[in-house]
Amino acid sequence: MPPLSTDRAEYFLNREVSWLKFNMRVLEEAEDENNPLLERVKFLSITASNLDEFFEVRLAGLLQRIEDGHTTPGPDGLPPEQELELVIKQTNEFVDAQYACWNDRLRPALAESGIRILELSELDTNAADFLNDYCEREVDPLLTPITIDPAHPFPRVVNKALCLAFLLRRRRRSSAVYMGVITVPRSLPRILRVPSREGTHDYVFLADLVASHAAKMYRGYEIVSAAAFRVTRNSNLYLQEEESRNLLESVRTELHNRRKGDAVRLEIEAAAAPEIVERLRGNFGLDEWQIFRTPGPVNLSRVSSIYEQTQRSDLKFKPFVPRELHLTGKSRDIFEEIRKHDILLHHPFDSFNAVVGFIETGAKDPDVISMRQTLYRTGEESPIVQALSEAAASKEVTVVVELKARFDEASNIRWARSLEDAGVQVFHGLVGLKTHCKLILLVRRDPDGVTRRYAHLGTGNYNAVTSRFYTDLSLFTANEEVTEAVQEVFNFLTAYADHPHYDPLLVSPVDCAERTIALIEREADHARAKRPGRIIAKMNALLDKSVIQALYRASQAGVEIDLIVRGMCALRPGVRGISDRIRVRSIVGRLLEHSRIYSFANAGEEEFYLGSADWMPRNLYERVEVVFPVLDPLLKQRVRQEILESYLADTAKARILDASGDYERVGARVNGRRRAPVLFNAQEFLIGLAQGNESLAAIPPPAARPQRSRYRPRVEQL
């Protein structure tokens, strides 16, 4: 019997719904009482920041496609209009769950722990006097009250700014009702800590404080009603790169326009007067479904301030110290170490200091004659940028800065200009393609007289801050084939120079998709020939239709496939005759899973690849990405036994995706029984391993695989 066709819409899950389900898994961490209380508050704030970006980018793009008249359905068969209906329903349910978490779980639990979020009427005299003084000194001088009338048009409200709307009535002249608006500057903290008795932490929301002081700014008016609100705008950049004479200036101009993009969402207090809501809706040109009436603060992402301001170590995760790279040679020379063997680091369990040190050493070493690096997101006060700037005084330094890294564009423009001022050759990548690969290449005249290349290849950004809570992998190597290929990638980035191949690297958009599918097909060929066929792949998202279909064909051929996909996943596992042998799990926990690892059994000659690319269309076809092999046998063993086996054994933070598109915690049901009394947390295990408190023998066997589903979806079910 020939295998079933893999080209049916019902075999694919919707991308946007899958993203919302990922955010729901983050929300589950906020609800989970096993997590420290203030960490739960932080998880809630993350869900709100995530949702902001969803509206700014994903939903804004969907609305743009509808407005432009696009009707072509996605891989799941849903045209844009139907997709929007589905997203609206799911988004409303998610927002309800967010505020239920805040109002019913977190806020009461905080109060029980002596952390109170108070109304102004609940303050004692000391706290009230403090706030009055603070408002007069710090707040009132920054606020500009506006009354809307023919001489005073509605102010241009920037993206995600905290605002207050008022209904105003003149005390003497007439009964007409005016609208007033105050925009609160971003420089003011949204949550204020006020004096409290010893052992407690009391906070108030800035919006409440501004509302209480509005009467002083609207003298001569009676404030009939007031409400805090917030507008989210389309934040996509619409660049015509081919027509741009200067990409940096084009991005800078578009960043200014972003602040004024079309409104896509209005958040407003649930108790807001209908007249305020309607006036705002009309002003911003929104449909009713785009209005979210919040039974709590209009910006839940700001509750992270409570985490930051509250010094309660008993309510946070226990901190850990990353393992530093230990150099074995007498000279403690990083280059000597790399010449002897490749080095693999697993961040944040292994310190990112080694990556920074590699750059700083190269910058100071007189034997290093050339440095090249890509920068995507590097953060403020970057020691790496500082080192590159200093190196430019004595050697050739080339940096490819991606100006279009979403929401880091302004920062990257500043870095690009700073590096240019220091004498660095700065390039902005290729027209139409983002530069997302993570590469460093140093050329050095070694003491033995040989000129060698040394490379760092990574899965994550060169950002010393995010490296503390993103899991990523770093490879240092002097392997001639690898470093020569890295040099060819830099030539591609700076000169668009064609090269017949980049072996042993997989490079997007040149051949990464084609070779990825070929690796999957090779496993299928092995399985058909009764040789060991197995795939384990870890990534942030799985959306590319061609790759998914290749995985389906491999499953049909008998390949056992385990996918560890943190976020969006369009593949539908467990479908009879299509994906029986595919299992998908998502791990959401203390650290953000960001590493990409691809393992292929290859009939016993197992191959491992790491890289910057997820299996998504944008990574495979619209960006410059690099996926690189792990060649050292000991490093292969580490990737397999320490990293992948840990994640496959997780029963504490892993969720299993079923054929209907829903996720269930692995620990909720093990071997068909109730939750196991002792759960294995891969991230905490890896932290313990880095601290010397664990051994690889502690990794339990992977949780029992779910029985093969006989689920066969029908179009009408979706």
| Position with higher pLDDT, 412 vs 299 | 299
Q: What is the pLDDT of residue 330?
A: 67
| Position with higher pLDDT, 562 vs 674 | 562
| Position with higher pLDDT, 431 vs 142 | 142
Q: What is the mean pLDDT of residues 311-339?
A: 90
Q: What is the pLDDT of residue 717?
A: 33
Is residue 252 scored above 70 in pLDDT?
A: no
CB atoms near residue 706 (< 10 Å)? 16
**Rg value, the chain, Cα:** 27
3-class SS of residue 183: strand
Contact call for residues 96 and 271 (beta carbons, < 8 A): no
Q: What is the mean pLDDT of residues 447-469?
A: 95
User: Which of the four pLDDT bands, split at 50, 70 and 90, describes residue 5?
Assistant: confident
Q: What is the pLDDT of residue 406?
A: 61
Is residue 342 scored above 70 in pLDDT?
A: yes
Is residue 414 scored above 90 in pLDDT?
A: no
- pLDDT tens digits, one per residue of 460-519: 999 999 999 999 999 999 999 999 999 999 999 998 877 878 999 999 999 999 999 999
Residues 6+ away with beta carbon under 8 Å from 377: 405, 408, 411, 412, 461, 462, 463, 466
Is residue 346 flagged as an active site residue?
no
* CATH number for the segment(s) 15-315: 3.30.1840.10
Ordered by start, the domain boundaries in the chain are 15-315, 334-499, 507-717
Is residue 112 scored above 70 in pLDDT?
A: yes
Is residue 8 scored above 90 in pLDDT?
A: yes
Q: Which of 170-184, 498-512, 542-556 has the lowest mean pLDDT?
A: 170-184
- Quick one: fold of 507-717? Endonuclease; Chain A (3.30.870)
Contact call for residues 567 and 499 (beta carbons, < 8 A): no
Is residue 171 scored above 90 in pLDDT?
A: no
| Position with higher pLDDT, 336 vs 670 | 336
Q: What is the pLDDT of residue 235?
A: 83
Residues 6+ away with beta carbon under 8 Å from 592: 469, 470, 471, 566
- pLDDT tens digits, one per residue of 695-709: 888 888 876 454 444
Residues 6+ away with beta carbon under 8 Å from 609: 506, 597, 598, 599, 627, 628, 629, 630
User: Which of the four pLDDT bands, split at 50, 70 and 90, describes residue 308?
Assistant: very high
How far is Cα 277 from Cα 50, in angstroms, rounded to an integer?
25
User: Which of the four pLDDT bands, split at 50, 70 and 90, describes residue 242?
Assistant: very low
Report the first-to-last Cα separation within the chain, whole angstroms. Answer: 27
Is residue 250 scored above 70 in pLDDT?
A: no
Q: What is the pLDDT of residue 175?
A: 75
Is residue 563 scored above 70 in pLDDT?
A: yes
3-class SS of residue 18: helix
Q: What is the mean pLDDT of residues 427-443?
A: 89
Assign domain 334-499 to a CATH class. alpha beta
Single-letter amino acid, residue 124: D
Q: What is the pLDDT of residue 703?
A: 60
Q: What is the mean pLDDT of residues 397-409?
A: 74
User: Which of the four pLDDT bands, split at 50, 70 and 90, describes residue 714?
Assistant: very low
Q: What is the pLDDT of residue 718?
A: 29
Which of 37, 40, 48 is closest to 115 using CA atoms?
37
How far is Cα 117 from Cα 300, in angstroms, rounded to an integer?
13
Q: What is the pLDDT of residue 4?
A: 80
Is residue 256 scored above 60 in pLDDT?
A: no
Q: What is the pLDDT of residue 246?
A: 55
Contact call for residues 343 and 337 (beta carbons, < 8 A): yes
Question: Is cis: bond before 504, omega within 30 of 0?
Answer: yes
Q: What is the pLDDT of residue 706?
A: 46
Q: What is the pLDDT of residue 255?
A: 46
Is residue 334 scored above 70 in pLDDT?
A: yes
Helix, strand, coil abundance in the chain, percent, nearest 5: 40, 25, 35
User: Which of the four pLDDT bands, split at 50, 70 and 90, describes residue 244?
Assistant: very low
Is residue 39 scored above 80 in pLDDT?
A: yes
- pLDDT tens digits, one per residue of 578-606: 999 999 999 999 999 999 999 999 999 99
Catalytic residue among 201, 347, 428, 436: 436
Which of 606, 584, 590 is closest to 655 using CA atoms?
584
| Position with higher pLDDT, 4 vs 141 | 141
Q: Which own/partner contact pairs does 678-682 have at CB distance under 8 Å and 24+ positions apart?
A: 679/651, 679/652, 680/649, 680/650, 680/651, 680/652, 681/589, 681/650, 681/652, 681/653, 682/587, 682/589, 682/646, 682/647, 682/649, 682/650, 682/652, 682/653, 682/654
Is 334-499's fold the same as 507-717's? Answer: yes
Single-letter amino acid, residue 498: D
Cβ burial of 303 (10 Å; 0-12, 13-18, 19+) is buried
Average pLDDT, the chain: 90
Q: Which of 41-45, 472-476, 647-651, 713-717 has the lowest mean pLDDT?
A: 713-717
| Position with higher pLDDT, 249 vs 135 | 135
Q: What is the mean pLDDT of residues 249-265?
A: 61
Is residue 430 scored above 90 in pLDDT?
A: no
Describe the strand order of the beta sheet including 177-183 as a list of residue ranges: 146-148, 177-183, 162-170, 221-233, 263-269, 291-294
Distances (CA, A) of 168 to 52, 146, 277, 534: 31, 11, 15, 69
